[in-house]
Amino acid sequence: MEKSIIVKHIMKKYKLYNGSKERLLDLISPKSYGEDFYALNDVSFEAEKGDVIGFIGINGSGKSTLSNIIAGIVPETGGDVVVNGETSIIAVSAGLKGDLTGRDNIELKCLMLGFSKEEIKELEPKIIEFSELDKFIDQPVKSYSSGMKSRLGFAISVNIDPDILIIDEALSVGDKAFSEKSLEKMKEFKQKGKTMIFVSHSIGQMKKFCDKILWLEYGRVKAFGQVEEVMPKYEAFLKNYKKMSKKAREEYKEASLKGQQKPLLT
Ligand SMILES: Nc1ncnc2c1ncn2[C@@H]1O[C@H](COP(=O)(O)OP(=O)(O)OP(=O)(O)O)[C@@H](O)[C@H]1O
C-alpha cells in the first residue's frame, strides 16, 4: 500500500516557566530559565492511503500537538513529517477567526488554501448548506456555540476535499444528526482512498470508524496497531486509571514522562 504520511521521531519541546518573571528572564538568558517539557517524545508512525487512524490517550498525552504538527500548524522541535507528493492537508479545528462572519471565514480559509475566486463562489453554497447554519452564516463566529463552530469547520474541510483530513474533536460536539451526516461524509472519503486522522475521546466513535489506533501517553507512543488489537488494551488501561488516586496518577505521569513503563497499567 502507498504511504500517505510518515512521521519519524517527532519531538515537541515546550518551556515551562515558574511565573511570568522567569519567562521574561528567559528572553535575556535562554539557557538559565524555564524547564524543558516534552509534549511529544520520539513519536513515529506511518499512514497508508485510505487509512482512518484514531489518536487516543488521556488528557495531555499529545494528541492535538501531534495532529497540529502533521497539519503544519505547529512546528516540531525535532524529527520529520513526510507527506506524500502534492498532498493537501486540512485540520477541521484550525483557524476560524472569531471577528469574521461564517461566510468570511469560508472565503478566508479557501483563499489560504489557494482556491480561486470562481472556485470559492462554487464551493460556498455547498459549505453553507452542509453546515446547516442558515442565517447565522452572516453572524460573527465569536457568537457561535462550540457545536456551530465545529459544524462550520467540518463543512469547510470536507467540501474542500483534501487528501488528508484531520478531525480533532469535531464530532463530539454538535448533534446526533450532524455527526451521522459527518460520518457518512467520512465513509465517502475513505472509499476515495483518502487518509483521515481522527482525534476523539469517544471510544464508541473510534471503534465505529477507525482502522488503526495510535495510543499516546504523555508524549510517547504506547501502542500503534489495528483497532481491534489496541482498543481493548486502552479500555483496560482506562478502567485501572479511573480507579487510581490523584497521587498515584501524578506518579504515573512522572514515570511516563521519563519513559518508565508501569507494569500495573500495561
Ligand atoms: N503552548 C504550549 N506551551 C506549553 N505546553 C503546552 C503547549 N501546548 C500544549 N502543551 C502541553 O503539551 C501536552 C500535550 O497537550 P495536547 O493538547 O497535545 O494533549 P491532548 O492529548 O490533545 O490533550 P486533551 O485530550 O486534553 O485535548 C500537555 O501537557 C499540554 O499542557
Interval 123-140: pLDDT, tens? 999 999 999 999 999 999
Q: Where are the alpha helices (DSSP H) in 113-223?
A: 117-131, 146-160, 176-191, 203-209
| Residue 33 maps to a domain | yes
Domain assignment of residue 118, yes or no = no
| Residue 131 forms part of a structural domain | no
Whether 30 is in a domain gets the answer yes
Query: What is the reported pLDDT for 86?
Result: 66
Q: What pLDDT, on a 0 to 100 scale, did the predictor assign at position 172? A: 60
From ligand 1's centre to the CA of 62, what distance in Å?
Answer: 6
CA-12 nearest atom, ligand 1: 12
For residue 19, the domain's CATH number is 3.40.50.300
Closest C-alpha among 54, 55, 50 to residue 210? 54
Model-level pTM?
0.87
Domain membership of residue 168 (yes or no) is: yes
User: Which domain, by its residues, includes 216?
Assistant: 3-87+163-265
Distance of alpha carbon 82 from its chain centroid, rounded?
Answer: 17
Q: Give the binding-site residues of ligand 1, using a 6 Å CB cut-off.
A: 14, 39, 57, 59-65
Give distance in angstroms: CA of 219 to centre of ligand 1: 9
Residue 99 lies in a domain: no
Which residues of the chain have a pLDDT value below 70? 30-31, 85-86, 169-174, 261-266
The answer to whether residue 18 sits within a structural domain is: yes
Domain assignment present for 139: no
Distance of CA 61 from the midpoint of ligand 1 (Å): 7
Q: What's the gap in Å between 115 CA and the centre of ligand 1?
A: 32
> How many structural domains is the chain composed of?
1
